[in-house]
Amino acid sequence: MAPVAPRSGDAIFANVERVNAELFTLTYGAIVRQLLTDLEEVEEVNKQLDEMGYNIGVRLIDEFLAKSNVSRCVDFKETAEVIAKVGFKMFLGITATVTNWDADGTSCSLVLEDNPLVDFVELPDTCQGLYYCNILSGVIRGGLEMVSMKTEVTWLRDMLRGDDAYELQVKLLKQVPEEYPYKDDE
């Protein structure tokens, strides 16, 4: 059977079941509010959001690989492109752009122009250190870890803090070779 060509993000998004983005936005807001009430410390909330994102990411990658038919990415550059063009589109209906590659190709920025998580949101003065969309950094980190890449994901620009776009820096720390549970010759 001939290998199936990878589908574009738009095509997949048109084929998956979709829900109103506002339900998604408001549910996410309820989660952040609950965390802020429980944990009170903004740093703790950031960490918890990242944790939750990580848990989502390790499961999301399965669905991503199943629905998108992408073949193994040759290098990190391709990985970043696939996340930006196919991944974000497939799940959130938005496209990101990849910029700011560093010299050895291990670090790049994903820039999001619009973001369904932050509709209607304004950060109050008491929460100025909060990375509201931190769940996204966890999702990317979790997903990539399941495909053997250890990464560090940080926020460079955040519109809720006054910047003009959302910018995530994804840095590849190391490629972990896949471990087989059995030895070949046993």
Partner 1 sequence: MIGVGKIKQYTNVLEKPISKGKQEVSLSAFAFLFSELVQYNQTHVDNISELERRLEDAGYAVGARVLELLCHREKGNRRETRLLGILSFVHSTVWKVLFGKVADSLEKGTEHEDEYMISEKELLVNRFISIPKDMGTFNCGAFVAGIVRGVLDGAGFPAVVTAHFVPMEGQQRPRTTILIKFAEEVLQREARLG
User: Can you give the binding site for partner 1, defined by CB under 8 A?
Assistant: 13, 16-24, 26-31, 33-35, 38, 48, 52, 55-56, 59-60, 63, 90-93, 113-114, 116, 119-122, 135, 164
105: left (phi over 0), alpha (psi -120 to 50) or beta: left
> Which CB sits closer to partner 1, 16 or 173?
16
> Shortest approach of partner 1 to residue 178 CB, angstroms?
25
Q: What's CA 182's distance to the chain center, in Å?
A: 32
> Which CB sits closer to partner 1, 43 or 113?
113
d(CA 169, CA 93): 20
> Which CB sits closer to partner 1, 110 or 172?
110
> Shortest approach of partner 1 to residue 77 CB, angstroms?
23
> Shortest approach of partner 1 to residue 120 CB, angstroms?
7
Alpha carbon dihedral 77, 82, 85, 86, in 10-degree steps, equals 180
> Shortest approach of partner 1 to residue 164 CB, angstroms?
6
CB contact burial 35-47 (16+ within 10 A = b; e otherwise): bbeeeeebeebbb
